[in-house]
Each structure stands twice: as C-alpha cells, then as structure tokens.
Structure 1
C-alpha cells in the first residue's frame, strides 16, 4: 500500500492536480455535446421533433439525474447519461471537500495512525525536506503560519497536508498528530521559535507510548548549535522527546569533507586547502578540516590552509581565540582580499607547491550563487600545475548549479569544477537525522574498520567489514546503541562529554580501575542487546543460528576478549575528540 501511495504522489498526483479542472471541463463538454446529439437523434427517430432549447434543457438535466430515459436510445445518449452524472458527482465531492477541508484533513491525519513526519516551517529547507520524505514513501504533514506562502500550494499539489497557524501552539501540534509521529522538525527561520516549538511539543505528547519522538531543531546560530550539542550527546531525551540539533553550515562542512576528503600528504608535505569566503560554511569547514586532520595519522604535521575573505584576519583571530591550538594544527595563511580584486584573480596563493605535492583543493563558500560561480571559474581558468580542484557552494542544485552538472564538466571546457548544493545535500532525510548520536556511531564504526584492517581481516571473513553506507541496519543500530551508552559510562565514573575548544589540551585517559569498570559495563550492555535480539551462547559464532561464544559473564571471558572491551573504553576520549568533544572530570 505504501508503494502505491508513493507512486501516486510521485508520478500521478502532480500531473493530475495541474490538469484536473481542464480535464473535468472537457469531459463535461463531451457529455453535454453527446447528450444534445443523442436527444436530437432520438426525437427524429421517434418522429417527435423538439425545439433546440428543449434539447439543450434535457442535456443539462442529465447532470442532475432528473430525466427518465427509455430504451432503445442512441449510443451518444447512452454514453452521456453515464458520463454527465459522474462529472457532476466528482465536482460536487471536490466542492464539499474544499468547504470541509479542515475536517477532512483532521480525519485523514487520525486515520494515518503512527510513524508520519511533522515539519514546522515551510521555507526552502522545510520544502526540500518535505519533498525528500515524500520521495522516500513517508507520510508528511506540514505546519506553516503564512497562508500566502506559495509553497503551501506546492505541498497541497503534491498531496502533503498543510495546517495553517502557529506551530508553537499545542492545539495545532496535536492536530498534526505529534503524539503519533516518528519525527518532528522545527525549521522556522528563528532559533527562539524553533526552541519554543520543542517546548510546546512536550505538552502535545501527553499519553504517548512507545519510543520517544525525535525532535530535530534547526539552529541558525552556530555558537548556540555547538553549545547545545553536548546536551544531545549527554542524552537529549526529555520525557517523550528526543532532542537533536542541526545547523546546515555545520552539516554541510561534514558532507563536503566526506565527498572531497583531505589528501593524506606525503614526502612533498601536507595538502593545501583554500577556503574562499568565511561565512558560516567557511568557518565550519575550517574547524572540521582541522579536527579531521588532527585525528588522522598525518596530524603531526600542520595542514596547509589559506583563508581568503575581505575580513579574513578578523575572522581568523576570532577562531584562534575560540579554538586554542588551531594555529598548531593548521599552518594558516590569512589574506584580506576581495574576490573581485586583481590580486585574487592572479591566484598567487595557489603557487609555491612542490612538483609532486597533491593538487590543492579550493572551497568557494561565498553566499551569493552568481558571485561564487564567477569566483570559481576565475580560479579554474588559471593554468596551473598541479591543477586545483575547485568546489563551489550553491544554495541548491538548480539554476546556476545545474549548469555545472557532470556532463558539462566533462565536456572539455571546464575541468575540476564541482557544484555543491548546500540545501539539497543537507536537507535530506538521511542527513537531517544525522545528529551527534549518528556521527558518533559512524566514528565508532570507522575505528572498528581501522582495527580490522590492521588485523588483516577481509570482507569474506567479516560481513561487517564494510563502509557505513553498506552496513546492514542491524550493525548500524548496534553502533548507535554503543554511542548512546557512552554518556552513561562517563556518568558512572564522574565524567561528562563537553565541547572541546582547546586543542592544546592533552587527550583524556581513564584510570586502570575505571577502564576495568567501564569494560564490564560495555560487555553487559553488549550481552543485553544480543539477548534481546534472540542470540544465545554457543560453541561458535554463527549469524545464521544466532549463537556467540562471548555471551557469558565478563569474568568468564578470555583475557583477549576482555582486552577488546577495555580497548573500546580507552578509545572513548579519541572518538569524542573526532567529533569535537572532550571528556571532563566532574569530581
């Protein structure tokens, strides 16, 4: 049934909504014409001539079923007597549904049951997210305050119910079925309004049973986003609400570095990255690149970073004050330069690399799409070796960004130029549900892959030895559960995870007694999760039979197996450091 609903909304409904009334009008005209033709023929065949006004009147009566027709009758009249009431009935139903739209919408939402998505705020982000969930076959309801917003019409044409009003009203959240929803997204343009929605959502969840509602708050302010992320990591569950916080620039920087990872460097030195434009995305990109480089094997040498902006020095000084040690992780070249200046077009900041050095990567993070594209093209057209890879930030992958599709880039006129649609890449269901918990789960799996690689394990020997994207949902959830338990482990030894701004601070280390205590907790957590999934002790590990040799008390494990649990505990500070957190001892 979900597949049929998805096909209807994806392919049929948009076209039908566009042509609905022209088609209905055409069918009404056909019914009327056939009726007129049929009555004229019938009068001639029965030798009972009718005036043309009588024929027209009888044709109109076909639509209201006020005629008693006797057989035989011409085929035209036979078709018209069925088609006319069908057209009239469809029109009447549509008219009544418009008049009773609010009541029908409430009934429709109640019939949905559980598991739908509520999106508050129908700006560009909210609209892209609503389309994304719809394309995934998910049911979506939107709350929007501005009745004149053109996206309200677009949503309704797609079959997405829209409730008009203030999303911070408990009554409206209840009408949207927040108590039965799986996710709620607060995507209004104001951080205070989004926070208010989350607060009021708690009241709308009275009596909710089952798992907590995942409430994702979009925060425009990057400092507020960083401040609240530690609450999410510590367990953002408040009653029946699981709070997650997202910032499109922060998330966009993560996605950018996944799609265009830092080169590893080599004998010729570290790679060079150039960040043009130090707005929200440019700042986040610098911080994430530095953090990623510090955690890598090559992190002992400084990453070569060039910052270009009209206020580059002012921004860099603020970031250096905010992140002590940043200038030791990165070798910063700061250029107060306008992208329209002759100095920028000479692009001398791309010079000075060794012949065997990796090509520089330039991230153009200017907020204006047209200016960003012209800036990127100016850099690409400079003939340099090695040729830089240039990535230009666009708001969406439409308009100017569509001109930079892979076909155009491979045509020979433009090389090494890539468009990154910030909103299209970040406002997707899979990305927006990627809170700190998901990021930490990914980091845990990446650490596991490194260990398995060092041990010489192959994919044939271990089905979970695959990238996160190819990992089964069972193993993904296992990593998420391990991430969820980190806050509990830290509390057990009087510690907490907090945002790490001081990169000069040495990596936290647990005492031997703490390691042993937390290793025991980790094994007990793992055992409970396995037993809940139906696993049992056995002489061999078998995913088919769901048996495992380690489903025994911690004290009965071999020393090698206990050391695996201890190793997982010792790695917690490093895992947290990779996502920008540190361990702080509370007592």
Structure 2
C-alpha cells in the first residue's frame, strides 16, 4: 500500500515522539535516582544521545557530589546538542513538521510559488492582515523559503499542478488560493488539478481560487463567462485577475487625489499623454475611459506615443469597439524625440489644460530615462510626470527612496504595490459595490415600469453575474472623482462621525454630478460592448438609456441623482488615500 506524504509525516512525527518518551521513561526505570532534579541535565543529555544513535545505558551515572564545574559543562553541552538537533531536525524533518502543522490549519490562504510575486503576496498578508499563509513551492532549495518561515508562513515543497499536493497542502480547508505565476501554462495545469479534485469528492470543497491571466481582455472575458460553472457547483470558485488591470486601477484610484484641485474647475481640460503601447499602457487607457469623467464633457483628451502606436490603436479598437464612443484617442509614432510634445504643453498651452504625462513602456529603465529628461527640459512649476516602475530595482529603487525631493516625478505600478491580497480578491471594494447594488434594488420598487431594467440585474449580489458586479465596482471606483469635483475629497479623509453631513450636496451639485454619472455609466457600457436600442436586450447588449442626458426620461435621470445622493452613506470604505 502506497502511503501519502501526509500519512508519512504523521508516522515520522509519532515515531520521533515515541523514541523520546520511551527513552525518557526507560532511563527512569534503569536508573531510579535519575528521576531526581539533580540528574535532569544528565537525563536530557542521555535522551539526546539516544536520538543520535548512542547507547543511553553504556555508562553509569555520575556521583551526586560531582563538581559544579562539570555539571555546568554538561548543561552547556546539552544545550549545544539541543541546538544542533534542532538544526538537523529543521533540515531533515521540516517537511514532516510542516505536514503535521497543516493538519491543524483551517481557513488558511494558499499561495502557489514563492517567487518575487508570491513572496510579496505573503508579505502583504502578514503586514496588512496580520496573518500567515501557506505557500506551495516546487523548488526545495528556493532561497526565499527560510525568510518566509521566519515570518511564520508554512512552505510546503511540491508540484502545485498535482492534485495530491494541493490536497496535502490543505486545499479542502483553505479560505482561498492565489496563483500568480509567470507561466500561464502552469496556471492552466493548476486548474486541471483542481478539476480532478472536485470530480472525485465534489461535496468536500468550498474554496475560491484566484488565477492570474497575462492578457487583460482574456482575463475579463473568463471572469465574466460561465465556462467554469461545473467547478463552482462542486465547490471550486475560479476567479481570474490581471496585473496590468490592477496597476491601472490603482493608478487612477490615486489620480483623483493628486488632481483634486483642478477637477473643481468646470473648464479644466485633462490631457492624458501616454508614452508606451504595451499591455500596461493599454490597461491604463481602458481604465481612463472608464473613470476619467469630469465636469468638462470634452475631457479627457488622450494621446498615445509609441514605436508601434498605430498597431496598438487597431488592437484596442478590435478588443473594445465601443471605445470610440467614449473618447477619441490619438496614436502617434515615437522615435525618442519629445521637444514638439513639450512645446505645446509649456510654451503655448491651451487655456485650462491639465496635462497628465505617463511613461508606461515595458522597460522600467526607459521610463526613468524619459521621465528625467522631461523633468529637466521643463520648468520646475510645470506638470507632473508618472513613471511605471514595475520591478523597482536599480536606479529606480534608489530614486524612489528620494521621492520627497522629486516632487514632480511619481513612480507607480511596482510589483510590491500590485501584489496585495485586497487588489486581487476585491473584498473591501465589493463591500461598497454590494451596498450600491442593494440601493439599486430598493429604488426599483417604485419604478416597476422603468424601460431600462432587466431581471438579470434585479437579483441579489450573490446571484449577480460578474458583468453586473463589475458595473457596480466601476461606480464605486468613481466616487472619489465625484467628491473631488465638488471639493469634498479632503472631507472624506478628515471627517469622522460627521462625514455624511460634511459630504452633503447642493441641488446644483447633485444635478451636475448626475450628468457626470450618466456619462461614466455610458462609457462603462460602451466598453463592455453595449449599444443603443429602443428596447433593452441583455443578450444583444442593447440599452435604451445610451443617449445624451437631455434625451433621458425623467425617471432615468432620477436614478443618476439617487446615485449621487447615496454617496455619503457609501464612503465608509473609501477613507484611506490609495497608494501607488
């Protein structure tokens, strides 16, 4: 009969304890006087020698009047043996000890891999949530293992793409599992292993699994699909995330605070100048189209510079056909020369122009070089520059430590800032999104005749599909922008119990923000593939409210006003200023 690793671990631990207990008791029977406290060091010494292969009764006990110097030496030697045995046990029996501890872990968080991403996730778990996790690592000699164990995490060595390893690591009792790996094929193999587990014992599992997918659009489509309903019925809830999207979302969550003052200006014209045409740059563009909606309906103006900008434009149009309905994006070739770009921003800028310059090439060093060159070529009081700094090493790390002296340069998107459990699970954000949806359901009661409602959106939060949940999350993301437009963002951070009173809106502010909310809602729908239709059709993604504010029925306008009026009751989870 083949024994599992868990069974072997239990047997080894029981065997080791049995040897210690039998030796301890046997010494007491063979040498009755050793039961006295005087001989405690001798008893410990002989027990340890037994574990090392020596005969515990090969010599007689020392006399009672043994000089204290020799007794002290024996105590020191015994302590040294204990330390040595502990080190040996760590090396030889760490796997068995880890397995033994896993027997008693419940509601744990599993992380596949202890590469830099896995290590950052576990560090965030310890720092932010004051708890430890369980890591599964293929490389038994990985250099990060010792440091993670010192922080209290359990590191279990094995192939996470094997169902037996996942079971031994405690997938059955896990709260959730995160798979944030470089190789997508490995992630797919993890899904296969989970499928094998649930097929054998479908009633035993109830765990969420967060899987990283490298392509942002594919990640979104998988998240909103019903391809994995069988796994969900069997207790494995597969959820997908993409780090480019997380970087973009985190960046624009902070942007409302950085530009709170100009957002109050109804004439402010934001211009996003994005250098780079890679996956992160594309994710930034999509997020900008979703949340950068201010008082000025013509804002934002978006320009993308990159060596392959035209191809990136065609790709974005293919993936998001509705993007053209939200804002016009200009794609310009970039060969490294930026003088003509800066001249318009510095020498003769248009009135009320608010530039947001973002260096988002795939290479951190290119972003740093371009950002420093722009800073040196423009006046000290000019616009800010944001530089993507994913790996946060080399000169970038050195300059980031001097961030206070680089007032106009802001780094964002570091691996450590992205590898946050909350960003992946969205648990705190979903508290606000859930409240938004519950308010929406309450508003439906007096509006049964509304043209724009469908049964798919009338369900409870737990029964909603992911596309409907994302719509509520997008609305939650825009709360800070609405507050900034009214000059109330500072009150959100400073007020305590009176936050709701401090955030009350005037009638003019409600009407203005309701129009902005309608524009934001249309943008989110267009990006999700919806179009105008006289009758709502969720299958064909047609909606009668995809029209300008002036053409909306009064009942639909009131919904947007209600969204604004409910903000003071929804901001409890938005107190903290996001970091980058």
CA contact (8 A) 2:385 2:410 kept: yes
CA contact (8 A) 2:270 2:299 kept: no
Structure 1 distance, partners of 2:362, 2:535, is 42
1:186-201 to 2 correspondences below 5 Å? 186-201=179-194
In the other structure, the counterpart of 2:109 is 117
Matched, 1:155 2:148: yes
Structure 2 distance, partners of 1:418, 1:448, is 23
Where does structure 2 lack aligned partners over 5 or more consecutive residues? 1-44, 50-55, 434-469, 504-523, 538-554, 568-580
Normalising by structure 2, we get a TM-score of: 0.62
Shift of 1:101: 2.9
Shift of 1:427: 0.6
Matched, 1:315 2:312: yes
In the other structure, the counterpart of 1:291 is 290
Matched, 1:416 2:408: yes
Structure 2 distance, partners of 1:194, 1:462, is 47
Matched, 1:90 2:83: yes
Shift of 1:336: 0.7
CA contact (8 A) 1:191 1:221 kept: no
Structure 1 residues 106 and 219, CA gap change in structure 2 (3 angstroms) = same
213, 222, 237: which one aligns with 1:219: 213
Matched, 1:306 2:303: yes
Shift of 1:156: 4.0
1:414-453 to 2 correspondences below 5 Å? 414-434=406-426, 440=470, 442-443=473-474
In the other structure, the counterpart of 2:160 is 167
Structure 1 distance, partners of 2:264, 2:322, is 21
Shift of 1:359: 3.6
Structure 1 residues 431 and 447, CA gap change in structure 2 (3 angstroms) = closer
Deviations along 1:436-474, whole A, 9 cap, x unmatched?
9576455565788979x99x999788777899xxxxxxx
60, 75, 81: which one aligns with 2:74: 81
Structure 1 residues 345 and 399, CA gap change in structure 2 (3 angstroms) = farther
In the other structure, the counterpart of 1:256 is 251
Deviations along 1:369-390, whole A, 9 cap, x unmatched?
2222111111111224861111
In the other structure, the counterpart of 1:525 is none
Shift of 1:416: 0.8
In the other structure, the counterpart of 2:94 is 101
Shift of 1:145: 2.4
Shift of 1:391: 1.1
Shift of 1:73: 5.3
In the other structure, the counterpart of 2:531 is 505
SS of 1:347's partner is helix
Structure 1 stretch displaced more, 434-443 or 180-189: 434-443
Shift of 1:238: 3.9
Deviations along 1:246-272, whole A, 9 cap, x unmatched?
100011100000112365374655211
CA contact (8 A) 2:275 2:306 kept: yes
Structure 1 residues 203 and 270, CA gap change in structure 2 (3 angstroms) = same
Matched, 1:368 2:358: no
Larger RCO, structures 1/2 (Cα 8 Å, 6+ apart): 2
Normalising by structure 1, we get a TM-score of: 0.61
In the other structure, the counterpart of 1:393 is 388
CA contact (8 A) 1:275 1:282 kept: yes
In the other structure, the counterpart of 2:450 is none
Deviations along 1:475-530, whole A, 9 cap, x unmatched?
xxxxxxxxxxxxxxxxxxxxxxx98547782389769xxxxxxxxxxxxxxxxxxx
Matched, 1:242 2:241: no
